[in-house]
């Protein structure tokens, strides 16, 4: 189970939206314990193959900030902006940022000038650099650098760290700041609308296959609302005829709220209610 996530049986929606109109271009359901980064590249390629998208830039949250994703996006010349988690520092007085990496000699230099040489690479792709225990024994920063149980300083450096550095630098640019700011008003807004207006807070079915159907239907409702609203603003569609449906669905929704489907948990609106709510709010916003 991922940190910060509730315990229990949950599903996760890996959703993609465009930056201009916030139209949902892909929705993919997995179990709740699947990491965000696992299906991302496959879903991105599926959209490129199906719709012929020419992706110029992507904005992702911290769950996608992995070396492999950064490497693949860089190879495709896609401008990437990602959030990243800030973990607590074990040694606040001598953080890793004070150790300088020398690319030519492939070593790290500590603040006191001692060298940390390459030792090995673990299965996860992290290169380990270790200091000389003799140097650390007489170092004045020894107590502030690592714990008493350790005899030497160990620094890890991923083999694809250079690609992650590209993502970090992109986020500091003016374009990166604007792009990441747009993300909050697109994908986050899309999920919020789905939960509040389209009954997406709870899964209405069991099994990934059937929850995927719910995701498709919800995304279709949201996209129809977005498209109709955009066309109405451009003057290509008149929204006056929706007034009749507005009143009709309001009355129908009021009647359905007085009933509850058999086997529906107490306090949970039934599926039919959410269907009418979804269409009802679509008409409101389109009107």
Looking at residue 1, its pLDDT comes to 46
Bridge-based pairing of strands 24-31 and 57-60 is unpaired
41 contacts 72 by C-beta, under 8 angstroms: yes
Classified as helix, coil or strand, 54 is coil
Looking at residue 143, its pLDDT comes to 84
Looking at residue 276, its pLDDT comes to 53
180 contacts 83 by C-beta, under 8 angstroms: yes
Bridge-based pairing of strands 11-17 and 24-31 is antiparallel
Looking at residue 127, its pLDDT comes to 92
Domain ranges of the chain: 96-160, 207-287
Q: Which of 133, 231, 222 is nearest to 186 (CA)?
A: 222
Looking at residue 251, its pLDDT comes to 55
DSSP secondary structure string, 79-108? EEEE----PPPS-SSS-GGGSEEETTTTEE
Residue 118 has pLDDT above 50, yes or no: yes
C-alpha 49/C-alpha 168 separation (Å) is: 28
Looking at residue 13, its pLDDT comes to 92
Looking at residue 225, its pLDDT comes to 87
Looking at residue 29, its pLDDT comes to 94
Name every residue whose Cβ is closer than 8 Å to that of residue 205 and which is 6 or more positions away in sequence.
211, 213, 214
C-alpha 140/C-alpha 151 separation (Å) is: 14
Residue 111 has pLDDT above 60, yes or no: yes
CA angle 191–197–199, rounded 5-degree value: 80
Tens of pLDDT along 224-275?
A: 888 888 887 777 666 554 555 555 555 555 544 444 444 444 444 455 555 5
Tens of pLDDT along 49-60?
A: 999 999 999 999
Lookup: tokens for 249 = 């669905």
Lookup: tokens for 33 = 């314990």
Looking at residue 129, its pLDDT comes to 94
Sign of the CA dihedral with 147 first, then 148, 153, and 158 last: negative
Tens of pLDDT along 132-168?
A: 999 888 888 888 888 888 888 999 988 998 999 999 9
Tens of pLDDT along 185-226?
A: 899 999 999 999 888 988 888 899 999 999 999 999 999 888
User: Please, what is the average pLDDT of the chain?
Assistant: 81
Q: Mean of the pLDDT values across residues 79-104?
A: 78
* CA diameter of the chain: 84
Write down how long the chain is.
287
* pTM for the predicted model, two decimal places: 0.72
Looking at residue 260, its pLDDT comes to 41
Please tell me the least confidently modeled range out of 73-77, 91-95, 241-245: 241-245
Question: How many C-beta neighbours within 10 Å does residue 39 have?
Answer: 16
């Amino acid at each position: 189970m991922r940190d910060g996530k509730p315990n229990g049986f949950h599903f996760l929606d890996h959703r993609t939206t465009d930056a201009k109109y916030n139209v949902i271009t892909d929705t993919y359901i997995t179990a709740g314990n699947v990491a965000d980064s696992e299906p991302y590249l496959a879903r991105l390629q599926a959209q490129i193959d199906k719709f012929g998208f020419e992706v110029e830039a992507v904005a992702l949250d911290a769950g996608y900030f992995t070396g492999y994703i950064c490497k693949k996006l860089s190879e495709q010349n896609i401008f990437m902006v990602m959030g990243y988690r800030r973990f607590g520092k074990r040694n606040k007085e001598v953080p890793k940022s004070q150790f300088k990496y020398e690319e030519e000699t492939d070593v790290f230099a500590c603040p006191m000038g001692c060298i940390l040489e390459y030792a090995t690479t673990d299965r996860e792709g992290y290169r380990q650099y270790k200091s000389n225990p003799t140097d650390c024994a007489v170092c004045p920063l020894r107590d502030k650098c690592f714990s008493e149980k350790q005899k030497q300083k160990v620094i890890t450096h991923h083999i694809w760290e250079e690609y992650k550095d590209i993502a970090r630098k992109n986020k500091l640019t003016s374009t990166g700041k604007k792009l990441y700011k747009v993300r909050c008003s697109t994908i986050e807004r899309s999920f919020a609308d789905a939960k509040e207006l389209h009954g997406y807070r709870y899964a209405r079915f069991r099994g990934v296959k059937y929850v995927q159907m719910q995701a498709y239907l919800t995304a279709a409702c949201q996209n129809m609302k977005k498209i109709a609203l955009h066309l109405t603003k451009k003057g290509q569609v008149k929204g006056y005829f929706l007034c009749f449906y507005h009143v009709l669905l309001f009355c129908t929704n009021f009647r359905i709220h007085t009933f509850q489907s058999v086997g529906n948990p107490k306090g949970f609106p039934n599926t039919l209610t959410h269907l009418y709510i979804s269409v009802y709010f679509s008409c409101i916003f389109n009107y």
